Amino acid sequence: MRSRDGNFCLSLAILLTLATLFSILDADEYLISYRYVIKDAIIYNEELSISKTMKKCFGKQYDSIILENNNSSNLKKVIAKNNISFIDFIHKIGLNVEHRAETINLLNHSTTILTLKTTCFKVDFNDNFVKISPLK
C-alpha cells in the first residue's frame, strides 16, 4: 500500500542514510599516544602526542570523557586546559607499565615508564564541551 507522499519506503531509506552519514561525519578522529618516564623517583619526561588521522579508524567506542570547551576546535588546546582530568582518563583506560630496578655498589637506580600506545579516539566538538571516546 502506498502512502500519501508516493513512496514511503524510499523516503525513509533516504532519511536513515542521511542520519547515519551525518552521525559518522559529526565526530573527528585523532591518534593519541602518551609516555611518562620516571628515573630514580624524579619525573624525567612526559609526552602527549596528538594528531588527526589520515585514514578512518574502525572499532567501537567503549568509554568516554567530557571536557569543557569554549568554542575551540583545537583538541590540543582543549586537553591543555583540562590536562589533569584527561591524564586521569588515560590512566583509567589502561597504560602499559615497564619498571626496571638495579643496585650497583649499594646505589639503587630505577626507571618506570608508563605508555599509552597510539590509540584512535573519536572526538565530538560542541560549543561548551568536547566528548572524547577511545575505539577498541
- Residue 109: inside a domain, yes or no? yes
- Residue 36: inside a domain, yes or no? yes
- Residue 35: inside a domain, yes or no? yes
The DSSP code sequence of 27-78 is SEEEEEEEEEEEETTEEEEEEEEEEE-SS---S-B---EEEE-SS---HHHH
Task: Give the pLDDT confidence of 47-98 residue by residue, as tens digits.
Answer: 999 999 999 999 999 899 999 987 788 899 999 899 899 999 999 998 899 9
Number of domains in the chain: 1
Find all residues with CB under 8 Å of 124, minimum gap 6, and list them: 26, 27, 28, 130, 131, 133
- Residue 100: inside a domain, yes or no? yes
- Residue 66: inside a domain, yes or no? yes
Provide the sign of the torsion angle of the four alpha carbons 57, 60, 62, 66, taken in this order. Answer: positive
Q: Which domain holds residue 122?
A: 27-134
- Residue 74: inside a domain, yes or no? yes
- Residue 17: inside a domain, yes or no? no
**Whether the predicted model's global pTM rises above the 0.85 cut:** no
